[in-house]
Amino acid sequence: MQLLDLLFPKLLKPETLERSQILFIWDGLGELRFPLNFKNTKSCTDPMTPVSIGCILVNLLKGNLLPSAQILVTSRLKDAGLIPPEHIQMVVELHGFDDLQWEEQIRSEVIDQNVVARVTVHVKSSRTLYIMRSLPFFCQMASTVLEELFSNSCTTDLPLTLTEMFTHFLLIQMKRQVEKSTKSDTEEILKLGKLAWHMLEKDTLTFMEKDQRETSTDPLLPVKLSEDWPMFFRKQNLMGLGKIYRFTHPSVQEFLAALYVAVHYEPSKGNVMFFTLAEKAQMLLNPTDVPTDMHRRAVDRALQSKTGQLDIFLLFLLASLQVQATSCCPAFSKIHLFM
């Protein structure tokens, strides 16, 4: 009752709680920061009894608390197993846009209607891009990138992979940021990549106040990043519970994390994949082996993950395998490694 009153003041009274028709919507099960221990959580049937958030959620799902309430939970496929099947009545899988819907979305996103047909034809020409067309975020990104390239008669190769599409999208956003502030914010992008990497290790899209303390992050940095790069990172207010920051899509976080790791993998700058002193010494003796070592270590880390949260990150990182990283390469040019 205290939690409901905090989120929705004066909406429900204790005496009407049991007979009210209530629908709880939990958006993003994988982002939950409270443990769901269905075996060892104590039973609670009284909505007036103070217990932990985790205890409330488990007892709601078990039907001990407010048994007449309905609960709708959204999650990524890999997080669906967090709730035991005996506490689930129905499972619905969402597939995103169909062929007609994604083309309608492209038409609504592209300003220059003369290039709409070229955008849709190009997306269909690449199996990788065509698979991603069902995602609203991808449609927005592809529309931005391809309209820019087609409208400006760009001579560069059109993106055919997800990594290339993300790289073009990042460069377009950086160009627009330069036009607004008259300065390049490459280091700011890498700071965003650092947050992405730390949150990816924790398998979460959200960045909270306690994460700032754990990563020694400047408290003002998430605010600035959300203002400067809203296409990648946004602020969200939690109805009186404070602010959190989240990446706009898991693939955004995975791409930026891979970019950060690729840039900061040189021994002279400090590796983020944690090598022993002997391994660092060997790489200093043979700097051309750094990319191979980086990818090998990344593969090992991805295989150790129980939830698979590093799989897409690994694909982005492997896209730069053909490029030999050198210690003299400036940070901005490293972004082009992903092309």
What average pLDDT does range 165-194 have in this prediction?
84
Q: Does the residue 334 lie in any domain?
A: yes
- 141-145, 146-150, 180-184, 215-219: range with lowest mean pLDDT: 180-184
Q: What is the pLDDT of residue 187?
A: 83
H or E stretch at 289: none
290 with 148, same domain: the answer is no
Q: What is the pLDDT of residue 179?
A: 81
Q: Does the residue 165 lie in any domain?
A: no
Q: What is the pLDDT of residue 43?
A: 94
31 with 81, same domain: the answer is yes
Q: What is the pLDDT of residue 325?
A: 38
Q: What is the pLDDT of residue 310?
A: 83
130 with 262, same domain: the answer is no
Nearest of 208, 325, 193 to residue 255 by alpha carbon: 193
Q: What is the pLDDT of residue 29?
A: 86
pLDDT at 13 over 70: yes
207 with 291, same domain: the answer is yes
330 with 191, same domain: the answer is yes
259 with 200, same domain: the answer is yes
Q: Does the residue 258 lie in any domain?
A: yes
305 with 253, same domain: the answer is yes
Q: pLDDT, tens digit, for every residue of 180-192? A: 776 667 888 888 9
82 with 107, same domain: the answer is no
Q: pLDDT, tens digit, for every residue of 62-86? A: 999 999 899 999 988 878 888 999 9
Long-range contacts of 181-190 (CB under 8 A, 24+ apart): 184/332, 185/228, 186/331, 186/332, 186/335, 187/331, 188/224, 188/225, 188/228, 188/229, 189/229, 189/256, 189/259, 189/335, 190/259, 190/260, 190/263, 190/264, 190/331
Q: Which of 87, 107, 130 is the last residue of a domain?
A: 87
Q: Does the residue 181 lie in any domain?
A: no
Q: Does the residue 234 lie in any domain?
A: no
Q: Does the residue 176 lie in any domain?
A: no
Q: Does the residue 53 lie in any domain?
A: yes
Q: What is the pLDDT of residue 185?
A: 75
Nearest of 219, 214, 218 to residue 243 by alpha carbon: 219
What average pLDDT does range 31-36 have in this prediction?
79
206 with 68, same domain: the answer is no
195 with 301, same domain: the answer is yes
The parent domain of residue 27 ranges over: 2-87
Number of domains in the chain: 3
81 with 116, same domain: the answer is no
Q: Which of 28, 58, 87 is the last residue of a domain?
A: 87
Q: What is the pLDDT of residue 77?
A: 81
Average pLDDT of the chain is 80
Q: Does the residue 179 lie in any domain?
A: no
